[in-house]
Amino acid sequence: MSDGKGRVTLRGIDKHFGAFHALKGIDLDIAPQEFFALLGPSGSGKSTTLRVIAGLETPDAGTMTVDGVDVTYAEPGERNVAMVFQNYALYPHMTVEQNIGFPLRMDGVPKARIPELAREAASKVKIDHLMQRRPGQLSGGQQQRCALARAIVRKPRLFLLDEPLSNLDAQLRLETRVELKRLHRSLDVTTIYVTHDQEEAMTIADRMAVFLDGDIVQVGTPDDVFNRPDNLAVAAFIGSPPMNLLPARFEDGAAIIAGERLALPPRSAPVPAEVVLGIRPSHVRIADTGIPAKVVLSENLGESMLINAEVEGVPVKVRLSEMRPIAEGATIRLAFDGGHVHLFDPQTRRRIA
């Protein structure tokens, strides 16, 4: 039963697959009842981290504790976790009822009670009318719900989701995303969610860890990660499209790009002479004066225009709400508010606060 716990701590988790260094000493703290997303491109180590937490992979080094108890080498069954797999991993020879009831059966719940508990879990994800079907007779969305019901029926301490929405069509993905969040609220169980879709992570997670090349590059709330990226790697990954990164010189509290001077709010940390300036495409506007840029391509995104331009050979994207295309090759002037600018040290690749 859920006892209001589920604090997960990873320390120095290291994992190789042959010559491939999948996890390079991961540290992670996940608070009880948190909805935590592991976000990163494929091969970044997020799924491996989830499998280590589930107990399906044993790390080469490092420790994992749940509520202070070391479970690094515990079998998956001893961890009181439930998992929804990317391909759902339903038992093909069992009905929906038997699938959902299987964890209860393995737990020794009296046989007479199982159908009732299975139906209860199924009704939470609205598939209680399909109890006698087999997985092969269900649509993708229904299979996904069946996998969810199987995961929640036992009321686990940790709820692990491995890209659960990636096999659904776009419409269903949006609906299920909302339902997952609702389900998490009603269950109050620590939920760890792997995704490569940053929009998904941004919208449903309380906090997230951004993975790149087997390392965690930032941990924080979606707001932190989006608005205060810790380093150039996160800045270049988060956002669709991600923020523009332009080399600039810093002099007397102002950035100088392509000969144009841009006043910036004062920084608490010392700023080196050479910096990388970051600005989101939606924060750039076209003005009469400003940094000169050459238009390469105008893209119509429906709700906005995305102008691809170049500033001294460096690509810059501008998102405009007014739907007027700009001719290729035209020279425009870009301006932005100094308050929206992020500064990074090109040497350490870290954010300058």
Kindly tell me which residue out of 26, 64, 90, 276 binds another protein, with binding defined by CB under 8 A.
90
User: What is the token pair recorded at 27?
Assistant: 């540290």
Residue 315 sits in the site that holds another protein (CB under 8 A): no
Q: Measure the CA–CA gap between 156 and 144, rounded to whole angstroms.
A: 18
Residue range at the interface with another protein (CB under 8 A); choices 4-12, 99-107, 249-257, 298-306: 99-107
Binding mask 25-64 for another protein (x = CB under 8 A): -----------------------------xxx--------
Q: Report the candidate in 186, 238, 207, 187 with the shortest Cα–Cα distance to residue 41.
A: 238
Q: Please, which residue, 195 or 298, has the CB nearer to another protein?
A: 195
Kindly tell me which residue out of 25, 32, 43, 76 binds another protein, with binding defined by CB under 8 A.
76
Residue 106 sits in the site that holds another protein (CB under 8 A): yes
Q: Is 302 exposed, middle or buried (0-12, 13-18, 19+ CB in 10 A)?
A: exposed
Contact between 183 and 224 under an 8 Å Cβ cutoff? The reply is no
Q: Measure the CA–CA gap between 224 and 84, rounded to whole angstroms.
A: 28
One-letter amino acid for residue 302 of the chain? G
Residues in CB range of 198: below 8 A, 6 or more apart: 39, 237, 238, 239, 240
Residue range at the interface with another protein (CB under 8 A); choices 1-9, 38-46, 70-78, 188-196: 70-78
Residue 6 sits in the site that holds another protein (CB under 8 A): no
Q: Measure the CA–CA gap between 311 and 317, rounded to whole angstroms.
A: 10
Specify which residues 84 forms β-bridges with. 161
Specify which residues 255 forms β-bridges with. 250, 262
Q: Please, which residue, 54 or 243, has the CB nearer to another protein?
A: 54
The DSSP string of 17-40 is ETTEEEEEEEEEEE-TT-EEEEE-
Q: Please, which residue, 107 or 188, has the CB nearer to another protein?
A: 107
Q: What is the C-alpha R_g of the chain?
A: 24
Residue 279 sits in the site that holds another protein (CB under 8 A): no
Residue 75 sits in the site that holds another protein (CB under 8 A): yes
Determine if residue 132 is left, alpha or beta; phi over 0 gives left, psi from -120 to 50 gives alpha, anything else beta. alpha
Residue range at the interface with another protein (CB under 8 A); choices 10-18, 85-93, 220-228, 238-246: 85-93
Residue 87 sits in the site that holds another protein (CB under 8 A): yes
Residue 192 sits in the site that holds another protein (CB under 8 A): no
Q: Report the candidate in 29, 2, 52, 32 with the shortest Cα–Cα distance to residue 190.
A: 32
Residue 118 sits in the site that holds another protein (CB under 8 A): no
Kindly tell me which residue out of 23, 30, 37, 83 binds another protein, with binding defined by CB under 8 A.
83
Residue 107 sits in the site that holds another protein (CB under 8 A): yes
Kindly tell me which residue out of 40, 45, 103, 281 binds another protein, with binding defined by CB under 8 A.
103
Binding mask 138-177 for another protein (x = CB under 8 A): ------------x---x-----------------------
Q: What is the closest distance, in whole angstroms, from the C-beta atom of residue 78 to another protein in the complex?
A: 8
Residue 113 sits in the site that holds another protein (CB under 8 A): no
- For tokens 């841009």, the residue is 262
SS3 1: coil
Given the rule CB under 8 A, which residues bind another protein?
54-56, 75-77, 81-83, 85, 87, 89-93, 102-103, 106-107, 150, 154
